[in-house]
Amino acid sequence: MNWNCEQIEASLSDYLEGALTPEEAAQFVAHSGTCAQCQELVASVRGLIGAMHALEPVAAPANLMPAILNSTLGPRPTSSGWRAWFGWTRVIFQPRFAYGALTVLVTFGVVTQALGIQLRMPTVADLNPVNLYRSADRTAHLAYAKGSKFVGDLRVVYEIKSRLEPSEDETPQKTPAAAPSSTPGCSSPGRSGRSSRW
């Protein structure tokens, strides 16, 4: 049975959204292809949906957000007079400001030390780039030399220590063997022997 105009109208959105079965869609197309009135209706509704989807949202008024916050959370306290001018100073009394200031001071001290700037008696020559470079270079070399000497000393200490003390994996193997031969006649020149001499 062929569809009439009422059926076309009732299933217009389903057709435009692709929700009709193939048979229903065929019936829809068959009727709307021959009926000028339905053809016009389909075209206008299709255009309308496209136009509505392309429509930009309306910009909300700028004072909407503050108004909503005021109406829900209550009006926020506003400062006036000298409080309005010096309100920003409150940030100084926050702990994070103290941490930040301390970090800046320490960094400044380290940098000035590295650059060799005498803070007690600063001279113009201290700010000469060549002097700054030399001082930084000297400080870096000194720091490197100190570091390498420290590492070298550590290595020597570690070597001496490792010779004096048996390693942990060797101790349980040698201890039972050494226990019965603790007589003066038995002299195995192992690490345990040396350890006992020391």
Partner 1 sequence: MRRHSRRIFNLCYRFTNQRQEAEDLSQEVFMRVYKTLGSYRDMYGAFGTWVTSVTRNLLIDHYRRTRRDRLTDSMEEVTTQVESKESSGMRPDHSAAVTELGEHLQKALAKLSPDLREAVILRDLEGLDYSEIRLVLEVPEGTVKSRINRGRIELARVLTEMGIRPN
Which residues of the shown chain bind partner 1 in the complex (CB under 8 A)? 9-14, 41, 44-45, 47-61, 64-65, 67-68, 71-72
Give CA separation, 131 vs 66, 127, 137, in Å: 57, 7, 10
Q: Closest separation between CB of residue 73 and partner 1, Å?
A: 8
DSSP state, 183? Answer: S
Looking at beta carbons only, is 65 or 106 nearer to partner 1? 65
Name every residue whose Cβ is closer than 8 Å to that of residue 195 and which is 6 or more positions away in sequence.
Answer: 164, 165, 166
Q: Measured from the CB of residue 9, what is the shortest distance to partner 1 in angstroms? A: 6
- As to burial, measured by CB atoms within 10 angstroms (0-12 exposed, 13-18 middle, 19+ buried), residue 38 is buried
Shortest distance (Å) from residue 75 CB to partner 1:
13
Is the Cβ of residue 21 or residue 72 nearer to partner 1 in the bound state? 72
Distance separating alpha carbons of residues 125 and 15, to the nearest angstrom: 87
Q: Which one, 5 or 30, has the nearer CB to partner 1?
A: 5
Between 59 and 125, name the residue whose CB sits nearer to partner 1.
59
